[in-house]
Amino acid sequence: MLVFLKEILDSGFRSVSLIGMGKNTGKTFTFNQLIMEARQLDIGVAMTTIGLDGEPSDSLFHHAKPKILLSPGQIVANARSLLLASGLDYEILQATGVTTPLGEVFLARALSAGETLLAGPGTRQELALVKDQLEGLGVDLFIVDGAVDRRSLAAPMVTDTTVLAAGAEASWDRRRLLEKLRHQLRILQLPAWQNQAQADLIQHEYGLSKDPDVKLVLLGEKGVQAVLTNQEFFHTETLPELIDLSTRAVFVRGMLTDSVLARVLAGAHQLSSINILVQDPTAVFLGPQSFHSLDAYQSALQVLDSIHISAVTVNPFSSRYGLADPLQLLRDVGCTVDPIPAFDLNLGMRYRPEEEDFNGIS
Amino acid sequence: MEFLDTETRRQLGFDQVWSQIRPASSLGRARTRQAGAFGKGQAAELEQELTRLERICADLKEDPKQADNLHFLLGTVRDIGLSIKRSRQGIILDDTEFYEIKKLLYTAEKIQWELERLQWTFLLPEPLEQCASCREALSIGQGGQESFYISDAYNKELAEIRQERVMLESALAKGRAAVDNKLIQTLGRLLSMEGKIAVSVGEREKIARLQEIPELEKVQETADIVTFQLIENETEARMKQKLGKVRETEEGLKEQIRRELSQKVAEHSSRLDKVLEQLASLDLTVAKGRFSAEIGGIKPKLCTEPAIQIEAGRHLLLEEEVRLAGRNYTPLSLRISPGVTLITGPNMGGKTASLRTIGLLIAMAQHGLLVPAQGLEFSPRDFIRAHLATAAIPKGLSAFAGEVSFLRDVMERSREDGLILVDEIAHGTNPVEGAAVAQAIIEYLIEERTITVITTHFPALPRVKGVYHLRVKGLDRDRLRRVQADSLQRCIDYRLEEADPSTVQGSDAAIVAEALGLDEAVIARARELLEPSMNPEERDSTDEQSVISTG
C-alpha cells in the first residue's frame, strides 16, 4: 500500500508543492517518491519547479543539482534549454509564454524514460499561469518542487496542498530544530480570515497588483475605516488617532516584520484585542518573540490566502554531523507537528501519535 | 521630412492616443510601433484602410463581442521570425521551434476560418498563407495534433531503433517492476530512484523479508539503518550498455530528421515570412478597428480640394480631462484652407485646444484611424508641424529663438501640402517687434499651399489682408455675473465663429478681473485707461493679455 501519495489524492488535492526548511532536507527525495508512486498508481502527473535559478550546481554546497526521474506519459513544465539538453524523447505540447534565464517554459510530455533537470517559472503569477495551461492535458496531479529560497514559498499559494521537508541539516540541536519547525509551521498555517466579504474587498482594492503605496487598511464592522500610506504609517503618529473601539481588523500590506507589528500593536493599545491580516504567509517575517507579543495582546494574525500542509517529511542526514537517529527524529518531529502526519520516506515510516512506541511507527 | 516629428506627436497628444491601440500579439505591437502615416500619394490605400475600419466598426457596434475569438487567436500568434531566419542560414532547428512553426500555421488556419465566419476576409488583400506542405511535413504521424514530436513515421530506421529501445527499456524496467511489486505486497513500498530501499535496524521482520528477495542485496548497515539495493545482473548490465548505444543512434536519426525538416522550413521561409507579415498587419487593423469603435469614430472623407473641414471634432485627451473636471466639452467645428487662419480670443478660451484638435484629427485620419467627430473632410497632408505654448525649448535657445528655428524649418516647406500650427506667434519677444515679425511671416505664408493656423493676441494681425479670422465666442457676461469666480470656465463659450470686423467685442478682461475679486480701485483705473481713443479690437486683445492671463 503506497500510503504517502494516496493520502494526498484521497483528500481530493490535485496539486501539491514541496518546500524545504533548508538545504538537504530531502525535498528532492520526496519529489521523486511522489513521481514514482504516481507512476505505480497510474496517475497522470505534471511537474515543475519554482525559484530554481538553473545553475548546474547549487551555489551553497556545489553539489550537482538533483535530477528527477521521468517516465513516459508524464508531463513537465521545463525551461527550453533543459528540455532540449535532457536527450529524452518529448512531445512539445505548448509554449507557456513564461520565460526563465534558461529559456521559455514549455509543456512537454515525456515519450521515453530518463532523468532530467527541471527549471520552471520564477514567480507565483507565472506558476499559476502554467497551472492553468495544464488544464485539459489529462493531469491528475501537478507537483511543484520549490527551491530553497523565499521565492519558492510562493508555490504553496498556487497548489492545493504542500509537503514540508524538514531535516537534521536545518539544525543538529534537536531543541532548536523543533523550535524552528514549530515557528515555521505556525507561520505557514496561519488561518484564513473568515470575513469573506471584507477579504474580497481588500483583495480587490488593496491586493497584490494594486497601489503599492498603501501600508495599512483599518477595517470596522461596516468596511474600510481608514487607509495609511507607507509615509503615514512609518513617519507619523496618526495610527493611534485612527484606531478606535469600532476597529475590528488591520490589514498590513506587504511585509509584516517585527517592527511593523510592534508599531501596529502600539497604535492599537487601547483595544483589548485586534485581528491583524496579511496577504499570505510569505508576507510574514516575524520572529518567535513577535508571536508572544501577539498572544499577550490577545491578537490574532490571519491571512487572506492560507496554505494547506498535508505532510512533513524528515531526513536524518546532516552534511556536517552525519546521520541522526532516524526513529528519534521522526518521533520528535511527529510529536511537534501533530496532527500533521510526519514521514521518513527513506525508511518508509510514518509517525503515529496514538501508539507512542517504536513499533507504532510504520 | 517625416509626416509628424517627435515634438509634434507629443504636443498634439498623438503618442498617447496611438498607444491606446492594443494589438493582441507581439507582432502586431511591433507593427504598431513602426506604423507611419499614409502619405499624400497613398490616398487610395488610405481610403481602403478607412473603409475596412468603417466596416469593422459597424459590425462591432452591433455586437462588440463578436471579434473576441479573433482577438484571442491573434493573441496566441508568436513571432517565429528568428527560427525562419535560422533555417535560412542552414541551422538545424530544435523541436520547440518546429512546434512553434506548426502551431503558427494551425493558428493561421483558424484565423482564416474566423475571418470567414465574421465575413471580414476583406481585411486582407489575399487569404492568409497556409503553407500546407510545410505544415504537413511537421505533422507526419502525429494524428492531426498541434503538438510536435518526431514520430516513427518520419523514418523507418528510427521506428526500428525506437522499438529496440523500448524493448530494452521494458526489459530493464521489468526486473525492477517485479521487485517493486514484491515490495508493495510485503512492505507497501517502492525502490528509490537509485534502486535502493532502506529500513530501520529494529524492523527485523522486514529485513528478513527483504533478504528473501533474491534480486536485492544488502549494501549498507549502520547503527540505525539497513539498506538494500537492486542487484544488476550481467544480462542487465549488457542491456544497459546496449541501451546507451541505441539511444545514441536514435538521437542521430532524430537529428537527421531535424536537418531535413529545417531544410523544408527554409524552402518555405518566404511564405512563412508572408504569414507573419499578414498576421501583423491584420492584428494592427483589427486593433485599430476596435479602438475606432471604442471612441465612436467616423470615417473621414478624403477630398482633392486642399482644405480641412471639421464638424464637432473632439480631442480625446482634452475631452477626458474636461469630463474628469465635471465640465461639458465643446467640440470643434471649422473649415480651413491654404493660407493663414488666425484664431483669437480670451486666454483659457480654448485656442490652443483648437490647434491640438485640428492636428490630432488629421494625424489620426492619416494614420488610417476613424476619428472622433461628426464629420471630417480633408485633403491628405505632406506633413504636420505644431509649435504650441507647451513646446520644449531646444537646448541653448531662448523660447523665441526656438520658435524662430521652428518657423524657419516649416517655411522652407510651405509650398507643400502641409499643416502648420503655431500657438501665440512671436509672443516671446518685445510686443511691437514680435507683432512685426509675426505679420511678415503671415504675409509670407498667406499665399502658400500649406494650411497654417495661428493663434495670437496681437491686435494688428487679423487686419492683414487675406487672413481668415476666427475667434472664440468668449465670455457669457450675464452668466459670469451670476456664478462664482471659480466657475469661470463654465462661462466661456468655446465655439469658434468667423470674426466680423464691423462688430465690437467688449472688454471681457475688466469683467473677469472683477469677477476674480481684483481691487475695485484698480478695475476702475483700468477702465479709465481703456476709455480713450483705442480701437475696440485693439482694446480687446490688449486687455486679454494683461488681465485675463492672471486668471
CATH code of B315's domain: 3.40.50.300
Contacts with B165 from chain A: Cβ below 8 Å? 112
Contacts with A42 from chain B: Cβ below 8 Å? none
Indicate whether B259 belongs to any domain.
no
Separation of CA A216 from chain center: 25
Q: Is pLDDT of A200 > 90?
A: no
pLDDT value of position A293: 87
Same domain for B454 and B311? Answer: yes
What are the C-alpha distances in Å from B499 to residues A338, B308, B454, B456, B505?
89, 19, 15, 14, 10
Last residue of a domain, one of B237, B258, B279: B237
DSSP 3-state of B486:
helix
B 156-215 residues with CB below 8 A of A?
165, 169, 173, 180, 184, 187-190, 192-193, 197-200, 202
Q: Interface of chain A against chain B, CB under 8 Å? A: 1-3, 29, 32-33, 36-37, 40, 69, 80, 83-84, 87, 89-95, 104, 106, 109, 111-113, 316, 323, 325-327, 346-349, 358
Q: How far apart are CA A174 and CA A335, in angstroms?
A: 13
A190 phi and psi angles, rounded to 5 deg: -55, 135
pLDDT over 70, % of chain A = 90
Same domain for B281 and B307? Answer: no
Beta bridge partners of A79: A105
Least CB–CB distance from B200: residue in A3, A91, A349: A349
DSSP 3-state of A165:
strand
Q: How far apart are CA B299 and CA B49, in angstroms?
A: 10
Record the cell numbers describing residue B473, joined without a space.
465666442
Residue B57 CB partners (closer than 8 Å, separation 6+): B289, B292, B293, B297, B370
Average pLDDT rounded to a whole number, residues A295-309: 88
Record the cell numbers describing residue A150, joined without a space.
523565499
Which long-range contacts link B116-120 to residues 24+ away (Cβ below 8 Å)?
B118/B59, B118/B66, B118/B67, B118/B70, B120/B55, B120/B56, B120/B59, B120/B67, B120/B70
pLDDT value of position B48: 95
Cβ atoms of B426 and B408 within 8 Å: the answer is: no
Least CB–CB distance from A3: residue in B95, B188, B192: B188
Tracing cell 534558461 back to the chain, one arrives at A102
pLDDT value of position B17: 96
DSSP 3-state of B202:
coil
**Extended beta strands in A3-153, E state:** 15-20, 45-50, 68-70, 75-79, 90-100, 103-110, 114-116, 141-146
Show the domains of chain A with their CATH numbers: 3-189+307-360 (3.40.50), 196-303 (3.40.140)
Whether residue B95 and residue A90 make contact (CB cut-off 8 A), yes or no, is yes
pLDDT value of position B165: 93
pLDDT value of position A150: 60
Q: What angle do CA B332, B337, B338 make, to 5 degrees?
A: 140
- What CATH number should be reported for the domain holding residue B63? 1.10.1420
Separation of CA B162 from chain center: 49
Residues in chain A: 362
Indicate whether B257 belongs to any domain.
no
Same domain for B103 and B187? Answer: no
Per the rule left: phi > 0, alpha: psi between -120 and 50, beta: everything else, B282 is alpha
Kindly state the DSSP code that residue B395 receives in the 8-state scheme.
T
**Nearest chain B residue (CA) to A70:** B193
Separation of CA A181 from chain center: 13
Average pLDDT rounded to a whole number, residues A312-318: 90
DSSP 3-state of A224:
strand
Greater pLDDT, A207 or B496: B496
- The interface pTM score, or ipTM, of the predicted complex is 0.84
- The pLDDT tens digits for B261-306 are 999 999 999 999 999 999 999 999 999 999 999 999 999 999 999 9
Q: How far apart are CA B45 and CA A175, in angstroms?
A: 80
- The pLDDT tens digits for A105-163 are 999 999 998 889 888 998 888 999 999 999 889 899 999 987 656 656 778 889 999 99
pLDDT value of position B533: 45
DSSP 3-state of B381:
coil
Beta bridge partners of B471: B344, B497
Mean pLDDT by 10 residues, chain B (551 residues): 90 96 96 92 94 95 92 95 96 97 96 96 92 94 94 96 93 89 90 91 92 93 92 90 94 96 96 96 95 95 95 96 89 95 84 95 97 97 91 73 89 93 88 90 93 90 90 75 64 80 56 76 84 50 36 27
Indicate whether B149 belongs to any domain.
no
The runs of H, that is alpha helices, within chain A are 3-10, 27-40, 80-85, 124-134, 155-158, 174-188, 196-206, 230-235, 239-242, 258-267, 288-296, 326-337
Same domain for B170 and B56? Answer: no
pLDDT value of position A64: 52
Number of domains in chain B: 3
Same domain for B357 and B493? Answer: yes
Tracing cell 508531463 back to the chain, one arrives at A75
Same domain for B398 and B288? Answer: no
Indicate whether B530 belongs to any domain.
no
Last residue of a domain, one of B215, B237, B259: B237
Which long-range contacts link B321-324 to residues 24+ away (Cβ below 8 Å)?
none
Indicate whether B527 belongs to any domain.
no
Q: How far apart are CA B388 and CA B403, in angstroms?
A: 9
> Helices B95-118 & B68-75, crossing angle to 10 degrees?
160
Indicate whether B14 belongs to any domain.
yes
Same domain for B288 and B322? Answer: no
Q: How many Å lie between the alpha carbon of A92 and the closest alpha carbon of chain B? A: 5
Contacts with A329 from chain B: Cβ below 8 Å? none
Same domain for B181 and B223? Answer: yes
Whether residue B149 and residue A106 make contact (CB cut-off 8 A), yes or no, is no
Same domain for B185 and B41? Answer: no
Same domain for B311 and B347? Answer: yes
Residue B183 CB partners (closer than 8 Å, separation 6+): B189, B190, B191, B197, B213
Tracing cell 497551472 back to the chain, one arrives at A131
Indicate whether B178 belongs to any domain.
yes
Neighbours of B17 (CB within 10 A): 21
B138 phi and psi angles, rounded to 5 deg: -90, 5
Which amino acid is located at A279 in the chain? Q
Q: Which of A106, A134, A128, A107 is nearest to A50 (CA)?
A: A128
Q: How far apart are CA A90 and CA A84, in angstroms?
A: 9
Whether residue B149 and residue A113 make contact (CB cut-off 8 A), yes or no, is no
Least CB–CB distance from B100: residue in A83, A95, A112: A95
Cβ atoms of A126 and A140 within 8 Å: the answer is: no
Cβ atoms of B539 and B507 within 8 Å: the answer is: yes
Average pLDDT, chain A: 85
Record the cell numbers describing residue B42, joined without a space.
497613398
Chosen for mutation from A75, A91, A98, A318 (greatest number of chain B CBs closer than 10 Å) is A91
Whether residue B96 and residue A84 make contact (CB cut-off 8 A), yes or no, is yes
Indicate whether B424 belongs to any domain.
yes
Q: How many Å lie between the alpha carbon of A79 and the closest alpha carbon of chain B? A: 11
Helix (H) or strand (E) holding B183: helix B156-187
Least CB–CB distance from B190: residue in A40, A93, A323: A40
pLDDT value of position B506: 45
Contacts with A82 from chain B: Cβ below 8 Å? none
Least CB–CB distance from A92: residue in B96, B165, B251: B96
Contacts with A349 from chain B: Cβ below 8 Å? 200
Whether residue B202 and residue A358 make contact (CB cut-off 8 A), yes or no, is yes
Is B103 part of the contact surface with chain A (CB cutoff 8 Å)?
yes
Whether residue A323 and residue B198 make contact (CB cut-off 8 A), yes or no, is no
Q: What angle do CA A35, A39, A40 make, to 5 degrees?
A: 115
Helix (H) or strand (E) holding B468: strand B468-475
Virtual CA dihedral for A147, A152, A157, A158, nearest 10 degrees?
-60
B 30-49 residues with CB below 8 A of A?
none
Instruction: Give B74-131 as a 3 state SS string.
Output: HHCCCCCHHHHHHHHCCCCCCHHHHHHHHHHHHHHHHHHHHHHHHCCHHHCCCCCCCC
- The pLDDT tens digits for A16-59 are 999 888 777 888 888 888 888 888 888 999 999 886 544 444 44
Give me the domain span that covers residue B190. Answer: 160-237
Helix (H) or strand (E) holding B357: helix B351-366
Greater pLDDT, A241 or A84: A84
**Nearest chain A residue (CA) to B192:** A33
Same domain for B88 and B164? Answer: no
Last residue of a domain, one of B471, B488, B503: B503
Q: How many Å lie between the alpha carbon of B97 and the closest alpha carbon of chain A? A: 10
pLDDT value of position B473: 78
DSSP 3-state of B497:
strand
Chosen for mutation from A68, A106, A107, A346 (greatest number of chain B CBs closer than 10 Å) is A346
Least CB–CB distance from A92: residue in B147, B193, B250: B147
**Nearest chain A residue (CA) to B150:** A91
Contacts with A87 from chain B: Cβ below 8 Å? 247, 251
Chosen for mutation from B99, B140, B155, B210 (greatest number of chain A CBs closer than 10 Å) is B99
Whether residue A2 and residue B225 make contact (CB cut-off 8 A), yes or no, is no
The count of C-alpha atoms lying within 13 angstroms of the C-alpha of B317, restricted to the half-sphere facing its C-beta, is: 18
Same domain for B329 and B280? Answer: no
